[in-house]
Amino acid sequence: MFNITRKELMWGGRKLVLETGRVARQADGAVLATYGDTVVLCTVVADKAPKPGLDFFPLTVNYTEKYYAAGKIPGGFFKREGRPTEKETLTSRLIDRPIRPLFPSAFRNETQVLCTVLSHDMENDPDVVAMIGASAALTLSGIPFLGPVGGARVGYKDGEYILNPSIDELPESALDLVVAGTGEAVLMVESQASELSEDIMLGAVMFGHEQMQAVIDLIIDMAEECAKEPWSLPEGEDISELQDKVKGLAEDGLRKAYGITEKQARQLAIGEAKDKVFEAFAEDSAVDPSTLKNILKSLEKTIVRGNIIQTGNRIDGRGLSDVRQILAEVTVLPRTHGSCLFTRGETQSLGVVTLGTGDDEQIIDALEGNWRSRFMLHYNFPPYSVGETGRFGFTGRREIGHGKLAWRALQAILPTAEEFPYTIRVVSEITESNGSSSMATVCSSSLALMDAGVPIARPVSGIAMGLILEKDGSYAVLSDILGDEDHLGDMDFKVAGTAEGITSLQMDIKITGITKDIMQTALDQAKGGRMHILGEMAKALDHSREELNSNAPRIETMTVPKDKIREVIGTGGKVIREIVEQTGAKIDIEDDGTIKIASSDPEAIKKARNWITGIVAEPEVGVIYDGKVVKVVDFGAFVNFIGNRDGLVHISELREDRVAQVADVVKEGDPVKVKVLGIDDRGKVRLSMRLVNQETGEELPDDRPAKKQRRD
C-alpha cells in the first residue's frame, strides 16, 4: 500500500529522519521530518500552469504549530488554533527566505509550501526541522527548484560553537543563529547575539554551513532514490527585438531618472520613462504588459548596477561606504515616557517608550509552555511613509519580522528585571522610508530607551548593507542601502550592535549564494558604518538619563516573608484591593515574597509601602505605635496597630490617674498612640496608653510603684 523511502542521519547528537511515501501522498512533494521526537510534516504543491499576467513568482510558505503536538488544548472560546502566532509568522519567513531565490526566474506557477508541527519534544525547536523538511519536499516534488537547501542552528558558549543547541541550552548560549544555504554558499542568516565580534559571528555562519552539508547530502541521496520527474519549463520566446525597442524608448529617461538624488522626484521621473514605453505598445495586443515590466526591471538593474560597478557612484551620489546624513532628536513627545525621532536620509523612525508594571507583561501561550515577556517592540509601517495609499491597520508578516529583528538587536543590552523592575514597550512608527527602516528602528528605539531613563548597557545602532555581484565575479558592497539599491541588488545584510560587538545579524541573498570573502568585507564595512552612526546618535544622547521621565511610573520593591503573603492579599484579595483603592498604587506580588509597588505619585507608593509593612511587621516590646480603638469593654480597650494586629490596653494603662469607666477616656474609632508592654506565649499583646504622650508620641517615665510594692 505504501512505497516508503526513509533516510536517517546522526546529526548534532540526535537522529534526523526524513521519510516520504506514507503521509500526504497526493501532494507534489511530502516529507515527514523528525529530529529527536520533534516531527514536522512538510508538503509542497504547485499549479500545473502559470497564472496569466503575473510578473512575480507567487510563492506562499506557511508554518503551523498544532497544540496537540505538545499535548495541549488551545485556549479561547473555540478551542482550536486561530490566527498565526508571532513564532509561526517568523518561522514562515525563515523558511521562505532561503528557498525563494532558488526557483527559476521563468517559473510563475503558484506554489504553496505548508509545514505542520505534529509532535514537539520540548528539546528541539521545529523551525530548522521544518526548513529541512520543506527543502526535501521541494527536491522530491519535481517542481523546478535549484536546491536542496540545508539549515542549522548554531550556539556559542565558552569559546566553542554548538550545533543545534536544545531549547534548554539556548539561555546559556551567547548566540542563537540560524543559517541556511546550498552546498556551495550561504543564502540566509538570522541571529541574536550578546555583543560578539565580527570574527566570531562569521565563524558561526561558516560552522553552520559546514555542518549542514551532511543534511544536503542526505536529501540528495533520498532524491536519487524517489524524486519525481522534473517539470519542464516552457521555452522562452525570443524577445530580443522587443528588448531593443524598450531600451531605445526608456534607457535615456531611466539614466536621467537615476541621476536624481531625491526619492520622490526620482520615482516620478522613473514612472514617466516607463509610461512612455507602455503608451508606445498600448495598441499592440501581442505584447504582454508583464513582459514589458520584466524588460524594464532588467534595464533598471543594468543601469544602476553598471554605474555602481564602473564608477563607484551610487544613485544618490554617495560612495560605497558612505552613510546618509543623520539627525537624532530626543524628548520630541511631551507626555510619553521616552521618545526619539531618528532621521537618516529619507528614512525616519519615531521611537516611543512606555514603561509599565508586571500587569503589563505579555503573556505568551506557546507549544513550549506559557511565559511572560517584559520587553516588547512593535514596528508599524503605514503606507504614507512611502507616499502611497494602501491597506492600514493590519500587522503584516514584514512588520512582525522587522519588529523582531529590532527586538533581537536590543535584547542583549537591557537591564535585568532585578535591576529595573519595569515592563518595557517600544513602538517604532516609520514616518518615512527609503531603505532600512528596521535599522532606523534599532537606532530610534535605543535612544528612546535612554531618554526614558532605562539603564541600558550601551547604545545600539544598526546598518543595512547591500551587494552588487556581477557574473565575472566583480562586486561592490554598499553601506546604508536605499530602497532602490535593495530592490535591484543581490543582498540585504543587516547588522546591529554596540561599540563592543554585534547583537543581531540578518542576511538575505537574492542570488544562489555568496562567499566567505564577501561576507567578511560586508561585516568589516558594516562595523565602520555602525560606529559612525553611534557617533551621530551620541550628539543627541550618549547615555541613559539618571532619572526616569517624570511621566513614568515609579516602582519600589520590598520583600515580605512568604508566610505573610496571604495576609497581604487577604481573603479573596480583599486586603490588597483595599490597599490599591485607598492609595491608588499598583501592586504586584510574586510567589517568593517580592512586592512591587508602582505609581507616578511618590506619596501613593509611601502609603502603600507603610500599609504593607504594617501588615507583615511583628510588634516589638517597648516600641510606640499609632493605632485605632476598635472595641471598648469594661476592662479596657482593644487597639488595632501595625496593620491588622490588635492588642489590649487594660483600664489601668489608659492614663495615670484612676479610670472609672473606659468610655470616659476612649471610644471606638479614636486614634491613639500605644506602647507595647509585652507579648505572651499565645501572641496576645499588652499595650499602654499611659506611658505615651498622646500629643507628641513621646515615651513618658513610669514612676508608678510596682504592683507588689503598692500591695505592701
CA-based torsion, 298, 300, 303, 309: positive or negative: negative
- Helix H or strand E encompassing 25: none
Mean pLDDT of 693-703: 72
Mean pLDDT of 246-251: 90
Model confidence band, residue 210 (pLDDT cutoffs 50, 70, 90): very high
Model confidence band, residue 711 (pLDDT cutoffs 50, 70, 90): very low
Place of cell 490597599: 579
Backbone angle region of 626, left / alpha / beta, with phi > 0 → left and psi within -120 to 50 → alpha: beta
- Measured CA to CA in angstroms, residue 160 lies from 175, 207, 523 at distances of 11, 11, 21
Contact 513, 187 (CB under 8 A): yes
pLDDT for the residue numbered 704? 65
Mean pLDDT of 668-672: 93
The pTM assigned to this predicted structure is 0.86
Cα 44 off chain centre by: 29
Q: Give the pLDDT confidence of 113-137 residue by residue, as tens digits.
A: 999 999 999 999 999 999 999 999 9
Model confidence band, residue 287 (pLDDT cutoffs 50, 70, 90): confident
Query: What angle (nearest 5°) sits at the alpha carbon of residue 38, between those of residues 36 and 40?
Result: 130
* Range in 394-398, 492-496, 626-630, 641-645 with the lowest mean pLDDT: 641-645
pLDDT for the residue numbered 238? 78
> Which of 487, 501, 502, 494 is CA-nearest to residue 437?
494
Rg (CA), the chain: 34
- Measured CA to CA in angstroms, residue 68 lies from 64, 130, 647 at distances of 12, 17, 57
Cα 263 off chain centre by: 30
Helices (H), 556-669: 565-569, 574-583, 602-616
Q: Give the pLDDT confidence of 423-459 residue by residue, as tens digits.
A: 999 999 999 999 899 999 999 999 999 999 999 999 9
User: Residue 629 burial by CB count (10 A; 0-12/13-18/19+): exposed, middle or buried?
Assistant: buried
C-alpha cell at 353: 517608550
Mean pLDDT of 684-698: 84
pLDDT for the residue numbered 466? 93
Mean pLDDT of 612-640: 90
Tell me the percentage of the chain whose pLDDT exceeds 70. Answer: 98
C-alpha cell at 1: 500500500
Neighbouring C-beta atoms of residue 639, cutoff 10 Å:
26
CA distance 178 to 192: 9
How would DSSP label each residue in 394-443?
---HHHHHHHHHHHHHHHTTSPPTTT---EEEEEEEEEE-SS-HHHHHHH
User: Does 45 have pLDDT greater than 60?
Assistant: yes
Contact 355, 454 (CB under 8 A): yes
- DSSP label at 692? B
CA distance 561 to 347: 53
Burial 282-319 (b: 16+ CB within 10 A, else e): eeeeebeeebbebbbeebbeebbbebbeeeeebbbebe
User: Does 343 have pLDDT greater than 60?
Assistant: yes
- Measured CA to CA in angstroms, residue 701 lies from 555, 639, 656, 690, 704 at distances of 42, 22, 11, 10, 9
- Measured CA to CA in angstroms, residue 484 lies from 88, 253, 338, 343, 374 at distances of 30, 16, 33, 18, 37
Burial 683-712 (b: 16+ CB within 10 A, else e): eebbbbbbbbeeeeeeeeeeeeeeeeeeee
pLDDT for the residue numbered 272? 93
User: Residue 364 burial by CB count (10 A; 0-12/13-18/19+): exposed, middle or buried?
Assistant: middle
User: Does 712 have pLDDT greater than 60?
Assistant: no
Q: Give the pLDDT confidence of 179-193 residue by residue, as tens digits.
A: 999 999 999 999 999
C-alpha cell at 243: 528588448
Place of cell 513550549: 368
- Measured CA to CA in angstroms, residue 104 lies from 107, 108, 121, 471 at distances of 5, 9, 37, 17
Place of cell 519542464: 232
Model confidence band, residue 710 (pLDDT cutoffs 50, 70, 90): very low
Q: Give the pLDDT confidence of 12-36 residue by residue, as tens digits.
A: 999 999 999 999 999 999 999 999 9
- Measured CA to CA in angstroms, residue 696 lies from 648, 691, 699 at distances of 21, 12, 9
User: Residue 28 burial by CB count (10 A; 0-12/13-18/19+): exposed, middle or buried?
Assistant: buried
CA distance 511 to 402: 22
CA distance 407 to 410: 5
Place of cell 552613510: 323
Model confidence band, residue 390 (pLDDT cutoffs 50, 70, 90): confident
Write down how long the chain is: 712
pLDDT for the residue numbered 135? 98
Model confidence band, residue 291 (pLDDT cutoffs 50, 70, 90): confident
Neighbouring C-beta atoms of residue 561, cutoff 10 Å:
10
Contact 492, 438 (CB under 8 A): no
Bigger pLDDT: 703 or 57? 57
Neighbouring C-beta atoms of residue 57, cutoff 10 Å:
16
> Which of 177, 180, 107, 179 is CA-nearest to residue 149?
180
Q: Give the pLDDT confidence of 536-558 residue by residue, as tens digits.
A: 999 999 999 999 988 899 998 99
User: Does 334 have pLDDT greater than 80?
Assistant: yes
The dihedrals phi and psi of 399, each to the nearest 5 degrees, come to -65, -40
CA distance 578 to 576: 5
Q: Give the pLDDT confidence of 567-618 residue by residue, as tens digits.
A: 899 889 999 999 999 999 999 898 899 999 999 888 999 999 988 988 888 8
CA distance 297 to 299: 5
- Measured CA to CA in angstroms, residue 153 lies from 43, 89, 175 at distances of 22, 18, 10
Q: Give the pLDDT confidence of 72-113 residue by residue, as tens digits.
A: 998 878 888 888 999 999 999 999 999 999 999 889 899 999
Contact 654, 666 (CB under 8 A): yes
Bigger pLDDT: 331 or 697? 331
Q: Where are the beta strands (DSSP E) in 510-623?
A: 554-559, 586-589, 594-599
Mean predicted lDDT score pLDDT of the chain: 92
Strands 111-119, 59-65: parallel, antiparallel or unpaired by DSSP? parallel
Q: For each of the domains in the chain, give its residue range(s) and CATH number, in order of start.
A: 5-226 (3.30.230.70), 240-311 (1.10.10.400), 326-538 (3.30.230.70), 554-616 (3.30.1370.10), 624-711 (2.40.50.140)
